Structure 1
């Protein structure tokens, strides 16, 4: 019996030694696997995604870039592990993925809702950026000055003088023009016409419309040609930039969180707007813009 115990203990010891050598090897293999950094098919997402990739490479990680993923696919792709991390927005997570209403919520409340809500999907978020790409309405600056309009209340009072350019859904979506009508009073615009979303600024510049829905980090808003109107009754919730991360990938790459938190801490609304201006207005390559920003702000 004693001999059997000794043999059993010896086998356990050997198993323990083997486990001690195998487990680090497994962990090492996981950490050596490239981090797949994805982006949506819009310039802001591609630029920020490239900044994320540069930050992770600086930490010594191998990175595989997967740009231009459909907005309808990228969240589920990250759940499946086809993407490890990509930039999204707290508001998108809460309102589009979790189907919850964000109106009246603060930036920190939206971030918590987003973080907690996706844990069940095998996903998590890191710290959110101060940069806020929420819904907005803009006007050509010359028209805003002409009609003395600085906010949505003043736009509502002058709506009969304003041709409004939509992108086909703004006047129908419950959280868009219907919500404006509900909170500010009916916007009785002179006309509402639908255009391609990529042409809205050009339509305003050509004088065919005097107002249009925008995102608050659009590069055109960094120029003096356009004025973003203040949502003075706060109908639109914060859409702060935040990385969406596959939890297994985060665990396998422990330096990922610190690296991306360092980046996002610097990405203010102004910084995002300036990055978008360089790409969408000035015509610069998003990878070059991302690299220059990273070298100036992080490296």
Structure 2
């Protein structure tokens, strides 16, 4: 009996040792496993997709991730500086004009350098590398009208404005960086008619031939339908860039050296065309944004 008890005790001790060694091995292999990173996102398709891409990249690097989704754009910056989230996808133009309330700039590198320096100084927040995806202001025209009148740029549009029906959102007519900014450079846009529609209806308005031109954001998913909709070139570069980039609290970044590398790899794969296509999968094809992000992340690993 004593021999059996000794044998059992030895086996138990060996089992405990084995479990301990395995646990130590796991901990050694995943030094980030105990760190939880809170990834926030704004409450619209593109930000949800990109935030999910950041989350997947961090999980791939061994971090635990808590997703804090659908935060209103008006409060997400405050959530970051108040330590309610650790990082989120932001836009350089938003940082410059909305958060910092600085003068409009149109050079992407200058905008990025400005927001990077000012956020560090004012908020102890770092902008990681910005992507080539630019979700800025634009104007979209029905493709049949574009072809008929030879309109591919805003300069072309200005010459033909009196022949075109503008499907406005109201706000864009008044904002300093909206139509007023265009008219200062391109000249007055004397529309044939201008009627205000809800932003969510604008592509239906164009498709149903109730309007010819509408305000747009340059990565909207419906823009993949080039047979129906043409995004006009801002050929005099009036509107500011809104390049996608992660913003992260300095203390989190400084304590976790692998975060920047993991997320910057995602940013290098995002350009305007790619993000537009991802948005289309959700907004046009009605796929789940998490599935879309997961599929794309697998393709870039």
Match of 1:170 among 165, 169, 172: 172
User: What corresponds to 1:121 in structure 2?
Assistant: 123
On the 8 A contact 1:30/1:252 being kept in 2, the answer is no
Return the offset for 1:30: 9.7
Return the offset for 1:251: 1.7
C-alpha distance in 2 between matches for 1:192 and 1:232: 23
On the 8 A contact 1:31/1:253 being kept in 2, the answer is no
Q: Superposed, which structure 2 residues align to 1:61-210 within 5 Å?
A: 61-103=63-105, 105-119=106-120, 120-210=122-212
On the 8 A contact 1:34/1:61 being kept in 2, the answer is yes
Q: Superposed, which structure 2 residues align to 1:1-80 within 5 Å?
A: 32-80=34-82
Q: Give the gaps of 5 or more residues in structure 1.
A: 1-27
C-alpha distance in 2 between matches for 1:295 and 1:78: 28
Q: Which runs of 4+ in 1 moved over 6 A?
A: 28-31
Return the offset for 1:223: 1.5
C-alpha distance in 2 between matches for 1:174 and 1:269: 24
Could you list the per-position Cα deviations for residues 13-69 of structure 1 after superposition, in whole angstroms to 9, with x for gaps in the alignment?
Answer: xxxxxxxxxxxxxxx999834100010001000000000000000001000001100
Q: Give the gaps of 5 or more residues in structure 2.
A: 1-29
SS of the residue corresponding to residue 158 of structure 1 reads helix
User: What corresponds to 1:24 in structure 2?
Assistant: none
Please give the TM-score of this superposition, normalised by the length of structure 2. 0.87
Return the offset for 1:130: 1.1
C-alpha distance in 1 between matches for 2:255 and 2:153: 47
SS of the residue corresponding to residue 118 of structure 1 reads helix
User: What corresponds to 2:267 in structure 1?
Assistant: 264
On the 8 A contact 2:139/2:214 being kept in 1, the answer is yes
On the 8 A contact 1:220/1:277 being kept in 2, the answer is yes
